[in-house]
Amino acid sequence: MTDEAMSEMSARRRFGLGGVPAQFGLAIIIAAFWAVFAWRAPGFLSPFNLFSVGRALAVDIVIGFAQMAALATGGMNLSVGSIGVCAVMTGGYLMQTLALPVPVAIFGALGLGAALGWLNGFVIARSGVSAFIITLASANLYSGAMLILTKAVPLNSLPMEVGAFGKMKIAGLVSPLLVIALAVGLVLFVFYRHSVLGRQILAAGANARAAKMSGVPVDRVITISHALSGLLAATAGMMVVAHLGAAMPAVGGEDWLLPSFLGPVLGGTPLSGGAVAVAGTMLGALLVTTIRSGLLVLQIGNYWLQLYLGVILLLAVLVDRYRALYQERRGIPMR
Amino acid sequence: MTLFRRLLLVEWSGLAVAILLGALALSVIAPNFLTEFNLYVMLRSLSVGLLVAFAQMVTLGVGQMNIAVGALGGLTAIIFGATIELYGFPLLLAIPLALAIGALGGLINGLLTARTGVNAFIITLATASAFTGINFGITGSIPFYKMPASLVAFGDHHLGAMPYLLVAPLIVAFLLGLFFSRAAPGRELLAFGGNPQAAELSGISRERVVVSAHVLSGLLAAAAAVLAVAQLGSAQPTIGADWLLLSFAAPIIGGAALTGGHISVLGTLFAVLLLGLIQNGMVLAKVDPYWVQFVLGALILAAVGLNRWRAVNSGVA
């Protein structure tokens, strides 16, 4: 093996968690999109649009984190949107109907999200059935229960400060929601990098049997990961409440499914588990938000949006695949 | 093993009992249930669902999944509608074309999955989004309304309680049953689903199996789309939007293993019938329609639990 290949492999290993090369390519693509949109649509760089991009980005980032938390164990969470909307309606109910103080209501909604996620994890760990089918079923249970209880009636006389928080601008440009999303990202980064529990989650995701033999309580770790996923989905839901200034039963659901996977997968989180890309998920979410907003400003309309998002997800998966193959070939010594 | 115990281990035995008891209960509670018209409406609503369930069942058979079943159905439906309304294609041309579009979509899914080795979930999630995007991009979410009278009549007519529409999925069910139990390619699909390594070592081509399962799945989704257009009398872009849950629920309740290698055509058929019965019962009992989603979710969980219990029990026996 040549020295060059050795150094490349060790570099890859060192940055294996984040997959830096993938993120570098992603950053270039994002920059290209920004350049094109700024050039074709003068309104794209206006303070107003930047503010709304940032606010939408905050929600996309946290939705991506919610999926990432489940992907870390090698599972997935199809109920991200359902838990999100359950948190939205619970938060709205606590604030409006029960007139509880806003922080208490937020705490209650986040608690519900974590509990619903925990329930997913508990059933998955106990039954050994794939996370896909359990969360597909629970997504419908949660959404169905929400619709039965709320009769799909929106709650739109929330306390004024909720909507005001969503409209607040730091330095006339940045939404506090984006600051929250970045803070969540920082916490998650430290959690997966440096905490024992975070390392245990990644170990269980990489190889459940080996982790179990090394004394990792795999079932508990999976349950906690799904509770974390639910907590993050609820956080995204509360951000949407602040953004809309109301609790809408049409939020979340299946609309969050694709974005939740786009962020982590574009950012380099493997579906097979064992690794997370926190910064990558943020970049992936930025790409999604950029494209959505750019098409809106260019007035191309929302109809084609899904085509672009689907094609981008495909391209990302293919590029990642071929990069892995290429590196594999480079790593094998020539005879 | 007692006869009762043996019956219990047949996948669709529980379903058959549930259907009989449900139908009996409904006919006592709701006098409208046994009317010819109600039975016709219920059976007609099953027709599309059966093909949707079969479309997913085929990919489950090889241990994969097809998230794009509904998206492909929607795209096929509006292309079918467009060729008829805008280009005046006769049905004899439009229907094969629609089926070919479905097969082509499945071919794309299959090739991408087989060639890259990436999880079929993420590939079909991406293509589902792309298919939906093309669908809404072309139509601007405006349906095609001018469907030929013969197609609409086919969707409406019935012989007693038996809708013409149901004939197509029943024939498909028969053919699929033969395919998976008697035909070599069908056996190869299941062998691969049961144990991919062993199947490959026995000379079964991974690529051919995966691609043919996805093509068949796309073909069935397209057939479901054509039936949906006949049933609705118009080609709606929203066709397929609510297929995802049913497509998984029916084969799994019918006894398909998520890990692949085992499916049941008859079980899937009974599962769709049971789901239709439940929906019909809820309508007759004037239950809040919001309950439908909840009940469907609960049924999947119950079925998964039952399948595990059966697997454990039959493993012991």
- The enclosing H or E element of A81 equals helix A80-92
Task: Give the confidence band of A22 by pLDDT, cuts at 50, 70, 90.
Answer: low
The tens digit of pLDDT for each residue in A273-303 reads 999 999 999 999 999 999 889 888 887 767 8
- The four Cα atoms A211, A217, A223, A224 give a dihedral, to 10 degrees, of -90
What pLDDT does residue B141 have? Answer: 84
The tens digit of pLDDT for each residue in B204-229 reads 999 999 999 999 999 999 999 999 99
Q: Is B125 on the interface with A (CB under 8 A)?
A: yes
Quick check: B35 and B257 in contact, CB under 8 A? no
DSSP letters of A274-317?
S---HHHHHHHHHHHHHHHHHHHHTT--STTHHHHHHHHHHHHH
Q: Is A129 on the interface with B (CB under 8 A)?
A: yes
Q: Is B308 on the interface with A (CB under 8 A)?
A: yes
* Among chain B residues, CA nearest to A126: B305
Question: What three-state secondary structure class fits A37?
Answer: helix
Q: Is A255 on the interface with B (CB under 8 A)?
A: no
Separation of alpha carbons B1 and B9, rounded Å:
11
- The enclosing H or E element of A259 equals helix A257-267
How many angstroms separate the CA of residue B187 from the nearest CA in chain A? 25
Q: How far apart are the first and last CA of chain B?
A: 8
- Please compute the mean of the pLDDT values over residues B3-23 and round it to a whole number: 77
Of A84 and A304, which is predicted with more confidence?
A84
Q: Is the pLDDT of residue A6 over 60?
A: no
A-interface mutation test, from B129, B253, B275, B312, most A Cβ less than 10 A away = B129
Q: Is B132 on the interface with A (CB under 8 A)?
A: yes
Question: What three-state secondary structure class fits A145?
Answer: helix
Quick check: B59 and B114 in contact, CB under 8 A? no
What pLDDT does residue B1 have? Answer: 54
Question: With an 8 Å Cβ cutoff, are B121 and A152 in contact?
Answer: no
Residue written as token pair 């790593």: A331
- Please compute the mean of the pLDDT values over residues B24-43 and round it to a whole number: 89
Question: With an 8 Å Cβ cutoff, are B121 and A129 in contact?
Answer: no
A133, A307, A310 ranked by CB distance to B300: nearest: A133
Separation of alpha carbons B296 and B138, rounded Å:
32
Question: With an 8 Å Cβ cutoff, are A137 and B300 in contact?
Answer: yes
Tokens representing residue B34 in the block = 């046994």
Count the Cβ atoms, other than its own, within 10 Å of residue A7: 10
B-interface mutation test, from A136, A261, A323, most B Cβ less than 10 A away = A136
What pLDDT does residue A36 have? Answer: 92
Phi first, then psi: give them for residue A266, nearest 5 degrees: -60, -35
What pLDDT does residue A21 have? Answer: 60
Q: What percent of chain A has pLDDT over 90?
A: 69
Question: Which residues 165-194 of chain A have a CB within 8 Å of chain B?
Answer: none
Q: What integer best gives the mean pLDDT of chain A?
A: 88
How many angstroms separate the CA of residue A131 from the nearest CA in chain B? 11
Task: Give the confidence band of A9 by pLDDT, cuts at 50, 70, 90.
Answer: very low
Domains of chain B, each with CATH number or no CATH: 12-17+29-307 (1.10.3470.10)
- Please compute the mean of the pLDDT values over residues A195-204 and round it to a whole number: 96
Q: How many CA atoms lie within 13 A of A167 on its CB side?
A: 8
* Among chain A residues, CA nearest to B301: A137
Task: Give the confidence band of A13 by pLDDT, cuts at 50, 70, 90.
Answer: very low
- Please compute the mean of the pLDDT values over residues A142-156 and round it to a whole number: 93
Tokens representing residue B35 in the block = 């009317």
Separation of alpha carbons A223 and B24, rounded Å:
42
What pLDDT does residue B6 have? Answer: 65
A129, A137, A151 ranked by CB distance to B297: nearest: A137
Q: Is the pLDDT of residue B195 over 70?
A: yes
Q: Which of A3-17, A135-149, B225-239, B290-304 has the lowest mean pLDDT?
A: A3-17
Q: Residue B106 to residues B101, B131, B235: CA-CA distances in angstroms?
A: 9, 11, 21
Residue written as token pair 């890309």: A277
> What's this model's pTM, rounded to 2 decimal places?
0.89
Separation of alpha carbons A88 and A90, rounded Å:
6
Q: Is the pLDDT of residue A26 over 90?
A: no
Q: Is B287 on the interface with A (CB under 8 A)?
A: no
**SS3 readout for chain B:** CCHHHHHHHCCCHHHHHHHHHHHHHHHHHCCCCCCHHHHHHHHHHHHHHHHHHHHHHHHHHCCCCCCCHHHHHHHHHHHHHHHHHCCCCCHHHHHHHHHHHHHHHHHHHHHHHHHHCCCHHHHHHHHHHHHHHHHHHHHCCCCECCCCHHHHHHHHCEECCEEHHHHHHHHHHHHHHHHHHCCHHHHHHHHHHHCHHHHHHCCCCHHHHHHHHHHHHHHHHHHHHHHHHHHHCCECCCCCCCCHHHHHHHHHHCCCCCCCCCCCHHHHHHHHHHHHHHHHHHHHCCCCCCHHHHHHHHHHHHHHHHHHHHHHHHHHC
How many angstroms separate the CA of residue B300 from the nearest CA in chain A? 6
- Please compute the mean of the pLDDT values over residues B124-137 and round it to a whole number: 94
Separation of alpha carbons B217 and B103, rounded Å:
8
Separation of alpha carbons A186 and A281, rounded Å:
12
- Please compute the mean of the pLDDT values over residues A246-258 and round it to a whole number: 90
Quick check: B106 and B114 in contact, CB under 8 A? no
The tens digit of pLDDT for each residue in A157-181 reads 999 999 999 999 998 899 999 999 9
Q: Is the pLDDT of residue A325 over 80?
A: no
The tens digit of pLDDT for each residue in B271-295 reads 999 999 988 888 888 888 888 889 8
Quick check: B135 and B239 in contact, CB under 8 A? no
What pLDDT does residue A334 have? Answer: 39
Q: Is the pLDDT of residue A1 over 80?
A: no
Q: How far apart are the first and last CA of chain A?
A: 10
Q: Residue B212 to residues A105, B20, B247, B259: CA-CA distances in angstroms?
A: 52, 36, 19, 18
Separation of alpha carbons B41 and A155, rounded Å:
37
Q: What integer best gives the mean pLDDT of chain B?
A: 90
Q: Is A128 on the interface with B (CB under 8 A)?
A: yes
What pLDDT does residue A335 have? Answer: 35
How many angstroms separate the CA of residue A268 from the nearest CA in chain B? 13
Residues of B in contact with A308 (CB under 8 A): 133
Question: With an 8 Å Cβ cutoff, are B112 and A314 in contact?
Answer: yes
A239, amino acid identity: M
What pLDDT does residue B317 have? Answer: 40
- The four Cα atoms B276, B280, B286, B290 give a dihedral, to 10 degrees, of 20
B126, B133, B294 ranked by CB distance to A305: nearest: B133
Q: Which of A129-138, A147-156, A301-310 has the lowest mean pLDDT?
A: A301-310
Separation of alpha carbons A328 and A281, rounded Å:
25
Quick check: A139 and B289 in contact, CB under 8 A? no
Q: Is the pLDDT of residue B11 over 50?
A: yes
Q: In the CATH hierarchy, which fold is given to the domain comprising A46-329? A: ABC transporter involved in vitamin B12 uptake, BtuC (1.10.3470)
The tens digit of pLDDT for each residue in B135-183 reads 999 888 899 998 999 998 888 888 888 999 999 999 999 999 999 999 9
Question: With an 8 Å Cβ cutoff, are A152 and B116 in contact?
Answer: no
A128, A265, A304 ranked by CB distance to B133: nearest: A304
Domain ranges of chain A: 46-329
Angle between helices A218-244 and A47-71 (to 10 degrees): 160
The tens digit of pLDDT for each residue in B54-108 reads 999 999 999 999 999 999 999 999 999 999 999 999 999 999 999 999 999 999 9
What pLDDT does residue B309 have? Answer: 78
What pLDDT does residue B5 have? Answer: 66
What pLDDT does residue A317 have? Answer: 83
Q: Is A144 on the interface with B (CB under 8 A)?
A: yes
Q: Is B304 on the interface with A (CB under 8 A)?
A: yes
Q: Residue B312 to residues A224, B273, B317: CA-CA distances in angstroms?
A: 27, 27, 9
